[in-house]
Amino acid sequence: MPAIAPSSEHWIGTAHGRLYARRWQAADDAGQLAPIVLLHDSLGCVQLWRDFPARLAAHSGRTVIGYDRLGFGRSDPHHDSLGADFIQQEAAEFFPALRAHFDLQRFVVLGHSVGGGMAVQCAARYASACDGLITIAAQAFVEERTRQGILAAQRQFQQPEPRQRLQRYHGAKAPWVLAAWIDTWLSPAFADWSLQPVLPQVRCASLVLHGSDDEYGSRRHPEQLAAGLGGPVQLELMPAVRHLPHREQEAWVLARIARFLAPAAGG
């Protein structure tokens, strides 16, 4: 078992507020391999990745960087509702601040759920600097299954315990976090959202991981990603896995990512 990587905390200034970031340094990373940048899901934050970033750094031999998007976790509040272009906006406005702070000339980008869509946008927009794309349970479009999963979660969050749990990670921003997820994805203005137009712009190698029983997206999502991405793609549909593959099958996911990244010469 590789040693757990130590971490350091960072604050990144942007025109809209400060972002909180954390960096895990792999013990054998000599700075030759592109760091892995994590993009969290709709209710996520750095803390909710749990031990995964440290273990990923140890298994891959690469530095791992995660950050709380504006309005989430320990980052500053977001004072507006999310626009229908918020996935593209993350890549255009906030990811450059992260790259500048850590001087990321090269990077690998990994996103979970909606973070997977953001990872695709980052890989496409900065194609010449992106050495690899990894998506975990990513949505590629708005599907009725996704909407039904969100509606079911909305009913669950009417109970006090789930709301209190969300508040533990997001503090006073928790109501905004919940509304940003539910209201945006159920909005008629977002109904036609799709990653399809941007997929061919991704030129790096990609690893697409998806659970066969994902309650927020059928296998059509990873299949659309695999068919549309512009570079070579490895697709893994994980049997009996739901929306959290990296938590449900953490050891397998870590090994699979390490294997995907291992052949990337100079990446």
DSSP 14-41: -TT--EEEEEE--TT--S-SPPEEEE--
The enclosing H or E element of 213 equals none
Contacts of 82 (CB under 8 A, 6+ apart): 180, 184
- Alpha-carbon distance of 241 to 263, in angstroms, equals 27
* pLDDT recorded at residue 2: 61
In contact, 230 and 200? CB cutoff 8 Å? yes
pLDDT recorded at residue 231: 98
Distance CA 110, CA 123 (A): 10
Side chain identity at residue 33, one-letter code:
L
- pLDDT for the residue numbered 7: 86
Q: CB–CB of 79/111 below 8 Å?
A: no
- pLDDT confidence of residue 265: 37
pLDDT, residue 263, reads 61
Closest CA to 246 of 48, 79, 106: 48
CA 88, CA 76: separation in Å to the nearest integer? 20
The 8-class DSSP code of residue 188 comes to: G
Question: Quick check: helix, strand or coil at residue 165?
Answer: helix
| Separation between Cα atoms, residue 121 and residue 138, nearest integer Å | 12
Query: What pLDDT shows up at residue 27?
Result: 76
Rounded distance, CA 209 to CA 127, Å? 21
Residues 55 and 58: their CA atoms lie apart, in Å, by 5
**Intervals of the chain under pLDDT 70:** 1-5, 29-30, 263-267
Round to whole Å and give the CA distance between 36 and 32: 13
Q: Please give the DSSP secondary-structure letter assigned to residue 176.
A: H
Give 229's strand partners: none
Q: Tell me the domains of the chain and their CATH numbers.
A: 7-141+194-261 (3.40.50.1820)
Q: Number of H helices and number of E strands within the chain? A: 10, 8
The reply to whether the predicted model has a pTM over 0.85 is: yes
HSE on the CB side for 72, CA within 13 Å? 23
- Per-residue pLDDT tens digits for 248-266: 999 999 999 999 999 643 3
16 touches 27 (CB < 8 A): no
CA-angle at 82, arms to 193 and 52, nearest 5°: 85
State the first-to-last Cα distance of the chain, in angstroms, to the nearest integer: 24
